Amino acid sequence: MKHDSSPTPQDLKLPEHYRPRHYAAVWRSPLHGWRERLTQIIEQTSASHTAEVFFRADDIGAGGRAFEALCHMFRRHAVPLGMSVVPAWLSTIREQQLFASAPVEEPLWGWHQHGWRHVNWQRSGKKSEFGDHRPFEKQWRDIWQGRQKMVSIFGEHFLPVFTPPWNRLSGCTLKILQQLDFRAVSLSKPFPKGHKNPLGLNNLKVPLDLHTRKSKDAAKDFDELLAQLTTLLGRKEPVGIMIHHQRMTTFAYQFLDALLQLLNGAEHITVLGLQELLDRGNE
């Protein structure tokens, strides 16, 4: 598979007409001129200033063809990927499946905790596993047992980073994370109001969501995605990009492959791993 060509389903070891059960309209089929437009954005960014990027893959809990294809792509480009793992989803068989595609000792993967069960406990409003409707004691129990399981499975390769399901948490969640020696959270937005950089926790923000997009207008949503990417690459702080491999079509893989290739080739853009971001927080 050449780096200057889009991967086919055969390259990715996916069925020829592979389609996930759920996917955003923007990834239904390739849009005219998509690669040229993406290339222009990356080249313009690299020519004008420096930028930093990192990737986070959510809802990790089993292997499978889509996960294997994702790992193959990041390995091919030698780009690190933060693996946001739901601890309760892991069984012995699923551990073996994960590590068959992404060996635990391989330095590309930033294994960290994605809640406990990925269950919505909010009685109203937006979904959250660790929202205001859950008492401190229950949140503490779930986060603690999730952390214990992560350490038992990943050992020294576990990173003390917490990604809450649906990217939402409450003030008491932050207190628990500090008590349990987490060093960072990863949200799609800033900390909840009134909790700016609480208790020394860093927020590794991931504001660009590639795959759980809601718009039904593919062309308009692609315009919006590229506009978001352009804006985010203009910021001084690292740009986090969120991936959901279960929702990736062949076009979604092709877009991500091109993005990784372009970022790697850009003179003034650096792709970071979660470990590097944590180490920077100690400086």
What are 132-147's pLDDT values in tens digits?
A: 889 999 999 999 999 9
Residue 198's pLDDT is what?
61
**Residue 137 in tokens:** 């004691």
**Residue 22 in tokens:** 């759920």
Q: pLDDT tens across 225-246, in order?
A: 999 999 999 999 999 999 999 9
Q: Please, are residues 185 and 159 in contact by the beta-carbon 8 Å criterion?
A: no
* Average of per-residue pLDDT values in the chain: 93
Residue 197's pLDDT is what?
61
CB atoms < 10 A from the CB of 128, how many?
22
Please say if the pLDDT value at position 4 is more than 80.
no
User: Residue 66 belongs to what H/E stretch?
Assistant: helix 65-77
Domains, the chain, ordered by start? 25-281 (3.20.20.370)
Q: pLDDT tens across 105-120, in order?
A: 999 999 999 999 999 9
Q: How far is CA 3 from CA 257, 259, 262, 266, in A?
A: 8, 11, 10, 14
Q: pLDDT tens across 76-111, in order?
A: 999 999 999 999 999 999 999 999 999 999 999 999
CA-based radius of gyration for the chain:
18
Please say if the pLDDT value at position 260 is more than 70.
yes
The band of 195, judged by pLDDT with boundaries at 50, 70 and 90, is low
* Residues in the chain, total: 283
Residue 17's pLDDT is what?
83
Q: Compute CA 24 distance to the chain's CA centroid, rounded to the nearest angstrom.
A: 16
Q: pLDDT tens across 197-220, in order?
A: 666 799 999 999 999 999 999 999
**Residue 117 in tokens:** 């069960």
Please say if the pLDDT value at position 1 is more than 70.
no
Q: pLDDT tens across 7-52, in order?
A: 887 888 888 888 999 999 999 999 999 999 999 999 998 778 899 9
Residue 15's pLDDT is what?
84
Question: What percentage of the chain carries pLDDT values higher than 90?
Answer: 83
Residue 271's pLDDT is what?
97
**Residue 40 in tokens:** 């222009």
Please say if the pLDDT value at position 283 is more than 60.
no
Residue 54's pLDDT is what?
98
203 Cβ neighbours under 8 A, 6+ residues apart: 184, 185, 186, 187, 190, 191, 197
Residue 9's pLDDT is what?
79
CB atoms < 10 A from the CB of 263, how many?
21
The band of 249, judged by pLDDT with boundaries at 50, 70 and 90, is very high
**Residue 272 in tokens:** 């970071």
CB atoms < 10 A from the CB of 144, how many?
14
